[in-house]
Amino acid sequence: MPPVDTRAWVRLPSGRRLDLLDPTPFDWTDDDLALGLARTYRWGGHSTWPLPLSVAQHSLLVLALRRQASPTGLSDAVARRELLHDADEGLLGFDPISPLKPFLGPGYAELALRLQAAIARRYALPPWTAPDKTAHKKADRIAAASEAIHVVGWTREEVRKTLRIADRPVDVDPLAGWLGTAPWEPWPAEQAAERFAETLRRLT
């Protein structure tokens, strides 16, 4: 726990306030979380499209890929865990690119773990099993490889050799078929928040 006199308050759109250093499961609304994820951007905010790609859209993409890869489907609890796998970034408002994370130090990792624990309690997320974690990581890497090519502008060779993502990207955007959106085009924050929040409501 942080010292008693240490606080890092964030006031959220709902009017609730969240202490990032000592979060509880009751400090935000679902819409606060959805909007935070919709306003937090992947890939350092860089994109070949007019808009950057939000963590909210990425989270829906990972869920869609997991559903596609699961022959027996996903329970609501497992789907909810997939949807919320990066939810701490929406509360923090920060998605560092993966190679940067080790340089942020143990303090950042501890902060993320506290937020993740509060999120897991609020949404009753089941603990990760080894097979589920492996399947999630694969979907997350496929999403990253696909975003790198279709959103950010990396070539397939660069994805393999520079980004070192061995998993094969997909050309067909699963969100286009699911939600009727334009393939790979990043959404405005309001749309991303609405789509994320609606999916979360269906899964809870």
Residue 5 lies in a domain: no
The 10s digit of each residue's pLDDT in 93-128 is 999 888 888 899 999 999 999 999 999 999 999 999
How far is the C-alpha of 20 from the C-alpha of 108, rounded, in Å?
A: 11
In a domain, 103, yes or no: yes
Residue 96 resides in a domain: yes
What is the predicted pLDDT for the residue at 58? 98
Domain membership flag for residue 4: no
Number of domains in the chain: 1
Phi first, then psi: give them for residue 21, nearest 5 degrees. Answer: -85, -15
The set of long-range contacts for 150-153, using a CB threshold of 8 Å and a minimum separation of 24, is 150/183, 150/184, 151/43, 151/47, 151/48, 151/49, 151/53, 151/184, 151/186, 152/43, 152/46, 152/47, 152/48, 152/53, 153/48
Which tens digits make up the pLDDT trace of 146-185?
Answer: 999 999 999 999 999 999 999 999 999 999 999 999 999 9
Task: Show the DSSP H helices in 42-129 as ranges.
Answer: 55-69, 76-83, 87-92, 101-122
- Residue 8, in any domain of the structure: no
- 26-35: per-residue pLDDT in tens? 999 999 999 9
Determine contact, residues 164/141, Cβ cutoff 8 Å: no
Domain housing 145: 27-203
CATH of the domain at 88: 1.10.3210.10
Average pLDDT in the chain = 95
For residue 198 the two structure tokens come to: 């609606």
To which residue do tokens 């726990």 refer? 1
DSSP 3-state assignment of 47?
coil
1 in a domain, yes or no? no
| DSSP letter, residue 43 | G
The answer as to whether 22 is a domain residue is no
- DSSP assignment of 2-37 equals --TT---EEE-TTS-EEETTS--TTS--HHHHHHHH
